[in-house]
Amino acid sequence: MAQFIQTNQIQLHYLDFEGDAPTLIFMHGLTANAHAFDGLIEAGLSPRFRVISIDLRGRGLSDQPAQGYTMADHARDILGLLDNLKIEKAVIGGHSFGALLTLYLAIHYPARVEKMVLLDAAAQMHPNTREMLAPSLSRLGQIYPSFDAYLDKVKQAPYLDFWDDAMLSYYHADVEMLENGQVKPRPRPENIFEAVNAVLGEPWVDYLKTVHQPAILVNATGVYSLGAPLLPKELAIETVEMMPNCQYVEVVGNHQTMLYGTGAEEIVVAIMDFLA
């Protein structure tokens, strides 16, 4: 299941879940890893489809170059993966940052993107997005005495309002085990901040005017933090209406928990209907 390839001068790690055609290329959120979609896999996304879930550069088991976290850098990594897997044109999707990377690929490399699955990302997110992401980003650059201590920290986040066992593999993949039993998150803060600045610098509204691939935008409207969803429904619909061939689907949960439990089941149904 776990695979490594050389692409764009780095080693990229990905998970390959067996299933029927078409193959789905999935990319995780800003600080996440390839196991972010384990809840969708458990809900039946595989074996209904073959799913390739990627550790983006600087996350998970992929290489961590000191610099190079622009959208263009990430996109070239994915193109190399597609070439390696001999996939000329793919159904590509992602969650949050990964969804925006999907849009970037569709705009700049349209011949490689057949359809798009966009999970909770839009041209404009909540105006307080930076502040709302603070609890998630605060775990980076820290050393925890044990994995259990790290997990206790994670469970205190305002958005984690229920626990699903499918989350455990994701949080295990998030940290590096040190020799003394301590753990530290794999993503480096400086790399993530470079990625944040890069993604915010892209002209997403202008991009949407020219994207043409069929797409589905799945929106979780539950409270993420500060009493609001990370992607308010009106902003999600605004993005959908900018695109000539995009469907809107609302699911339960918030920006994080949508990937598990009932939210994951609803997402899988939506993807199956979209690709039918």
pLDDT score for 187: 97
Cβ contact 248:149 at 8 Å: no
pTM over 0.85: yes
pLDDT for the residue 80: 97
* 161 in any annotated domain: no
Q: What is the pLDDT of residue 1?
A: 74
- CB-CB contact of 50 with 75 (8 Å): no
Domain containing residue 216: 2-126+189-275
CB 98 within 8 A of CB 26: yes
CA dihedral (140, 145, 146, 147) in degrees, to 10, reads: -20
User: What is the average per-residue pLDDT within 224-240?
Assistant: 97
156: amino acid identity, one letter: Q
Give the integer Cα–Cα distance in Å for 253 and 235. 17
- CATH code, domain carrying 38: 3.40.50.1820
First to last CA, the chain: 26
- Domain assignment present for residue 45? The answer is yes
What pLDDT is attached to residue 179? Answer: 87
Dump pLDDT digits (tens) for 109-155. 999 999 999 999 999 999 999 899 988 888 999 999 999 999 999 99
Measuring CA to CA, how many Å separate 114 from each of 63, 100, 202? 28, 16, 22
pLDDT at 50 exceeding the cut of 80 = yes
**Residue 96 included in any domain:** yes
Q: What is the pLDDT of residues 176-228, one digit of tens each?
A: 999 899 999 999 999 999 999 999 999 999 999 889 999 999 999 999 999 99
Indicate whether 69 belongs to any domain.
yes
Closest Cα to residue 102, out of 118, 89, 90?
A: 118
Does 236 reside within a domain? yes
At 136 the pLDDT is 86
171 inside domain: no
Report the C-alpha gap between 77 and 82 in whole angstroms.
9
Average pLDDT score, the chain: 96
Place of tokens 């201590």: 149
Across the range 51-76, mean pLDDT stands at 98
Backbone dihedral angles phi then psi of residue 62, each to the nearest 5 degrees: -75, 160
> Is residue 21 assigned to a domain?
yes
Six-digit token string for 232: 């308010």
Which pLDDT score, from 0 to 100, does residue 209 have?
A: 86
Domain count, the chain: 1
**Residue 217: inside a domain:** yes
Q: Which residues pair with 117 in a beta bridge?
A: 93, 216
